[in-house]
Amino acid sequence: MAQLDTREKLAILADAAKYDASCASSGTAKRNSRDGKGLGSTEGMGICHAYAPDGRCISLLKILLTNSCIFDCHYCINRKSSNVRRARFTAQEVVNLTLSFYRRNYIEGLFLSSGIIGSSNYTMEQMVEVARSLREDHNFRGYIHLKTIPDADPELVHQAGLHADRLSINVELPTAGGLKRLAPEKDGARIEGAMAANRTAIVDNKDAVKRYKSAPRFAPAGQSTQMIVGADAATDGDIVTKASTLYDRFGLRRVYYSAFSPIPDASAVLPLQRPPLMREHRLYQSDWLMRFYEFTPQEVVAAADDATGMLPLDIDPKLAWALKFRGSFPVDVNRAPRELLLRVPGLGVKAVNGILTSRRWRKLRLDDVARLTVSIAKLRPFIVTEDWRPVVLADRAEIRPIVAPKKQQLELFAA
Ligand code: SF4
């Protein structure tokens, strides 16, 4: 590997980390102050934004320890057979970088992942050493998210949890067949075994902390995972079902969905085109339906097209479900229980809570509901209020043009 300075390594290893969606980044125009004019830059390498457990948006240094890897997962730009420029940080270099970014107030924490070098245990040891040194040698109190390696010794993964706020293990693909085909060196059973061990440690630790205030914390921000969308033939139904199983079995905080993006010198087993980004967005919406809107996974899957198993791209899954199951509507906002109100397209959790509070004192009229929502026109076919009952707009074909978002003409010469 050629000798590279820290800045060159950072450019390579921050760019290589961008394929990991486990902490969401936001995009903006490129600006910098290298010409001596102005202050600040939006091109700082490796800085991304994530949400802390209390909902705060925090900046993280998001990098790989190395982009070299002994595995050859077909979808990964860092795979052994890939022709990319390689770089590697030492554990001490990552510690120094994190501290210097932190002291300059660029970041509030670290997201660290890695290709596998030498062996899974050796790589995991290096990552644990980064977290250990930050916490013990430098008393670093910022956020640390470590991507762990499922094949590593469980004791090393446990050590990672004692220093990190969040652990994550990528499940990679929604089906066992997809994993076998695209990441043949990975073992689905080991991935799930490592998640199960983390779950046990997290639950035990919560119990210990309740009893002894001084008990050391283990991954207090929980664990998460990521699934690649569109690299194999899995349908949205398969993905929703897999995600719900992972939430149930391993108590995950989040499942992240990452639309597969074609990589240079891609393997022939991969599709040539990336899936529409809207597919990733619809999967995040379906995830919200299960986590916050009390939909069962079977109900979300039922919103998908029966023939293809795919969620519609032009409307959100909640509206798709409502149009498919017209018999569940209209919902009387003055009488319906919370779970039925949550099914009404256009009513969010906050609006439903507002309705439940207001209706204790008086019967709600259409105007009252309108004040709690963005578009009452889209809601009208699905609700009954003191002064409103939909009678004419009874069936799906008539409703769809009213409630679906208007199609937009793309501009040929848009900037
Ligand atoms: S183990 Fe990770 S870094 Fe290595 S090829 Fe597979 S996905 Fe890429």
Residue 27 has pLDDT above 70, yes or no: no
Mean pLDDT of 258-281: 85
Q: What is the pLDDT of residues 335-367, one digit of tens each?
A: 999 999 999 999 999 999 999 999 999 999 999
Residue 16, ligand 1, Cβ within 6 A: no
Same domain, 270 and 291: no
Per-residue confidence (pLDDT) for residue 165, from 0 to 100: 94
Are residue 207 and residue 305 in the same domain, yes or no? no
Same-domain check for residues 225 and 293: no
pLDDT at 86 over 80: yes
Mean pLDDT along residues 401-410: 66
Q: 274 falls in which pLDDT band (50, 70, 90)?
A: confident
Does ligand 1 have an atom closer than 6 angstroms to the CB of 73?
Answer: yes
Whether residue 142 is found in the same domain as residue 78:
yes
Q: Are 238 and 270 in contact (CB under 8 A)?
A: no
- Ligand 1 pocket, residue 147 CB under 6 Å: no
Range of the domain at 50: 6-275
Of 220, 251, 275, the domain-final residue: 275
Query: What's the gap in Å between 78 CA and the centre of ligand 1?
Result: 6
Same domain, residue pair 255 and 321: no
- Number of domains within the chain: 2
Does 70 share its domain with 192? yes
Better pLDDT: 397 or 330:
330
Same domain, 218 and 319: no
Quick check: 182 and 73 in contact, CB under 8 A? yes
pLDDT tens string 374-386: 888 889 999 999 9
Q: Is the pLDDT higher at 24 or at 176? A: 176
Q: Are residues 391 and 317 in the same domain?
A: yes
pLDDT tens digits, 37-47? 554 444 555 66
Asked, for residue 18, whether it belongs to a domain, the answer is: yes
Residue 70 lies in a domain: yes
Evaluate whether 302 touches 241 at the Cβ level (below 8 Å).
no
Do 270 and 358 share a domain, yes or no? no
From the CA of 80, give the closest atom in ligand 1: 5
Domain assignment of residue 256, yes or no: yes
Whether residue 334 has pLDDT greater than 50: yes
In a domain, 10, yes or no: yes
Which pLDDT band holds residue 28 (cuts at 50, 70, 90)?
very low
Looking at residue 25, its pLDDT comes to 38
Residue where one domain finishes, among candidates 233, 255, 275: 275
81, part of any domain: yes
Is residue 1 a part of any domain in this protein?
Answer: no
Q: In terms of DSSP H, where are the helices of 293-348?
A: 297-302, 317-324, 338-341
- Is residue 379 in a domain? yes
pLDDT at 266: 75
Closest ligand 1 atom to the C-alpha of 172? 7
Domain boundary among the residues 275, 301, 320 is at 275
Statement to judge: residues 27 and 149 lie in one domain = yes
| H-state helical runs in 325-372 | 338-341, 349-358, 366-370
In a domain, 113, yes or no: yes
Task: Give yes or no: residues 249 and 115 share one domain.
Answer: yes
Using the atom order of ligand 1, give the atom closest to the CA of residue 79.
5
Q: E strands along 4-91, which residues?
A: 47-51, 57-64
Beta carbon of 116 within 6 Å of any ligand 1 atom = yes
236 pLDDT band (50/70/90 cuts)? very high
The phi, psi pair for 71, rounded to 5°, reads: -95, 165
Q: Are residues 329 and 202 in the same domain?
A: no
Q: What is the pLDDT of residue 31?
A: 46
CATH code assigned at 77: 3.20.20.70
| Distance from the alpha carbon of residue 125 to the mean position of ligand 1, in angstroms | 17
